[in-house]
Each structure stands twice: as C-alpha cells, then as structure tokens.
C-alpha cells in the first residue's frame, strides 16, 4: 500500500471517486463485433502499398528492359488469382434493397461471427438487407421468435447478397426487437434494417379482386428496385396485378412475347392490372420489374384465367 500523507491521500481518493462517478456517454457494454480497421493505419497502409507498387513497377521496367536485350519472348498470359480478397458490398449497394419510403433503424453494420444488434421498436413492415461471405450460413433471429431468418453464404469467397422483409404483425409492431446474428467466426457479414412505418405502403393484391377461374402463376411478390420474378409458363394470355409506392416509375419487360408494357407513376401509390398479349412462343416467361429510381417498393402477382371446361 502506498505511504501517502493524509492531505494527498484525501485529494487522490476524492479525485478517483469523481472519475468513477462519471458514466460513459454511450453504452460501452452495447457491444457489436465490428472489425473496423483503425483509422490511423490507413495512411501508412496506403503509403506502403504505393511504395511497394513503385518498387514493383521499377523492377518490372528493369526486367522488361533487360529482357529486351535477349531473346524476345511472348508475353505471359494474364492469370486470375483464385484467392481474391473478399470484400462486402458498399453501403450504397447494400441499401439499394431498402425502399425509399422507409427509415433506417439499424444503419449499415459490419461484423463477423455472432453479434447482437442494437434494439429498436418496429412500427410496421421491416426490411433487412444483408450480405455475407464465408464457408457456412447465417441465422438472424430475435429471442421472441418474431424474426427468424437463415441463409447460406454459398461457401464462396465472393459475398452473397440477400433481402428479406418481415410483415407487420401483432408480435412485432410496437415491441422492442433485438436481432442476433449467428454465424461461424470466419464468416464476415454486413446488415442494414429499415422500417416502413405504421401505414401499410401497399394494398393487398389478389383475394376478392381476382376474377373467377383465376390461376395464380406467380404469387404476390415484393421487391425493391429492378428484379426478376420467378419464371412461369402460361397457357395463353396472362394478367399482372401490381402496386408500387415511392417516387418514380415502374415498368415490366419480358424477353418472351411483348417486349415492354406498363409504365406507371408510383408517387401516389399506383395500383393496376394489365392483361398481356399472347406470348410469342410457348415456354417459360422471364419477367422483369424495373423501377426508376432504384429504391421504389413494389408488389406484383401474375395469374391467368382458365376458361371453364364445357
């Protein structure tokens, strides 16, 4: 124990008690494993890379000049390294799957392995965009089972990108929600979560609006931006029921049959139904929904009406 005079002892004790009363301005225990490279290393790293590049260029130039004095050889074929460095999509790429009419509740968060994300309270339908790279899959769940998603990272060093939405329901809306990402420690991932809010952004398609004899070819499918529906095989002309929300336009294209049709403004929540012409040839239809700007939210279903058999 230190041998201190009483005056300094009292002042030091008071000083340390004052320090220990100070609470951190943010919850330092709210820990999310985010592998952020310390900023101070960036410049030395860049300088190092630039230096190595300069030296390598010099050596290459020297070798080229030297080889010019000897027999001319064919250039070496370009090689593609199988072990390319993995990099996840940028924040702007990741948020392309988040509708513009939503607000972000968990910003773009990077991590690896298992981590618990900050708690938020959903007010409506939520959108989750995530990307991962690694040899195994991921699980994203909430302790109350309101959210349970899983997927694979495809065993590829290249990152996969996936989008999910969780419809508003009583067990989700208005209740604090904590999402936990579990993955192998070697799996890197990034995630962003957005909430559309309390007002349902899109109407319910199908149901009573479908005519008698309707046969659904593509069930109600949500999307953000330009996406391709699953292929379908109609027996004749088919119908597309759609709705969209957000500023911008939506249009449909196919490579089979009519090339392009329907172009609607989404600013006021366009809702419509369109009958197509007869496909040019039998077989599967590749159907693409395009929006401009990219973060427009839409829903589409495809059906055909089969004539009653006589």
Cβ atoms of 191 and 126 within 8 Å: the answer is: no
Would you count residue 185 as binding other proteins (CB under 8 A)? yes
Q: How far apart are CA 111 and CA 91, in angstroms?
A: 14
What is the closest distance, in whole angstroms, from the C-beta atom of residue 29 to other proteins in the complex?
A: 4
CA distances from 213 to 129, 181, 220, 236, 305 (A): 37, 44, 17, 14, 5
What is the closest distance, in whole angstroms, from the C-beta atom of residue 161 to other proteins in the complex?
A: 5
Would you count residue 305 as binding other proteins (CB under 8 A)? no
Would you count residue 96 as binding other proteins (CB under 8 A)? yes
Helical H segments across the chain, by residue range: 6-21, 42-68, 91-94
For 178, half-sphere exposure in the C-beta direction (CA atoms, 13 angstrom radius) is: 10
Contact residue for other proteins among 122, 159, 234, 246 (CB under 8 A): 159
Would you count residue 83 as binding other proteins (CB under 8 A)? no
Q: How many residues bind other proteins (CB under 8 A)?
A: 69
Would you count residue 16 as binding other proteins (CB under 8 A)? yes
Q: How far apart are CA 43 and CA 45, in angstroms?
A: 5
What is the closest distance, in whole angstroms, from the C-beta atom of residue 92 to other proteins in the complex?
A: 9
Q: How far apart are CA 85 and CA 79, in angstroms?
A: 15
Cβ atoms of 224 and 127 within 8 Å: the answer is: yes
Q: Output the six-digit token pair for 78.
A: 């370009």
Contact residue for other proteins among 122, 124, 190, 222 (CB under 8 A): 222
Would you count residue 166 as binding other proteins (CB under 8 A)? yes
Q: Is 179 exposed, middle or buried (0-12, 13-18, 19+ CB in 10 A)?
A: buried
Contact residue for other proteins among 104, 118, 136, 149 (CB under 8 A): 149
What is the closest distance, in whole angstroms, from the C-beta atom of residue 94 to other proteins in the complex?
A: 9
| Positions in the binding site for other proteins (CB under 8 A) | 2, 4-5, 7-8, 11-12, 14-16, 18-20, 22-26, 28-29, 31, 33-35, 40, 89, 93, 96-97, 113-114, 116, 131, 139, 141, 143, 145, 148-152, 154, 156, 158-167, 180, 182, 185, 219-230
């Amino acid at each position: 124990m230190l041998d201190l005079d009483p005056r300094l002892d009292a002042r030091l004790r008071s000083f340390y008690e004052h320090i220990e009363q100070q609470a951190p301005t943010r919850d330092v225990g709210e820990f999310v494993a985010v592998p952020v490279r310390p900023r101070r290393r960036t410049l030395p790293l860049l300088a190092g890379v630039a230096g190595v590049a300069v030296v390598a260029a010099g050596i290459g130039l020297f070798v080229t000049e030297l080889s010019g004095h000897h027999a001319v050889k064919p250039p070496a074929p370009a090689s593609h390294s199988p072990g390319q460095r993995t990099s996840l999509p940028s924040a702007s790429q990741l948020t392309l799957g988040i509708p513009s009419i939503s607000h972000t509740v968990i910003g773009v968060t990077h991590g690896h392995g298992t981590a618990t994300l900050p708690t938020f309270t959903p007010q409506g339908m939520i959108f989750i965009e995530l990307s991962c790279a690694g040899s195994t899959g991921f699980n994203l769940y909430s302790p109350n089972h309101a959210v349970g998603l899983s997927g694979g990272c495809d065993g590829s060093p290249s990152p996969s990108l996936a989008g999910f939405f969780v419809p508003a329901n009583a067990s989700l809306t208005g209740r604090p929600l904590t999402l936990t990402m579990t993955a192998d420690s070697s799996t890197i991932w990034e995630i962003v979560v957005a909430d559309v809010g309390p007002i349902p952004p899109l109407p319910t398609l199908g149901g009573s609006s479908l005519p008698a004899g309707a046969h659904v070819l593509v069930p109600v499918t949500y999307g953000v931006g330009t996406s391709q529906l699953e292929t379908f095989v109609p027996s004749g002309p088919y119908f597309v029921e759609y709705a969209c929300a957000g500023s911008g336009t939506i249009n449909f294209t196919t490579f089979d049959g009519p090339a392009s049709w329907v172009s609607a403004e989404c600013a006021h929540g366009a809702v419509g139904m369109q009958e197509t012409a007869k496909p040019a040839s039998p077989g599967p239809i590749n159907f693409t929904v395009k929006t401009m700007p990219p973060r427009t939210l839409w829903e589409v279903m495809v059906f055909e009406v089969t004539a009653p058999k006589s």
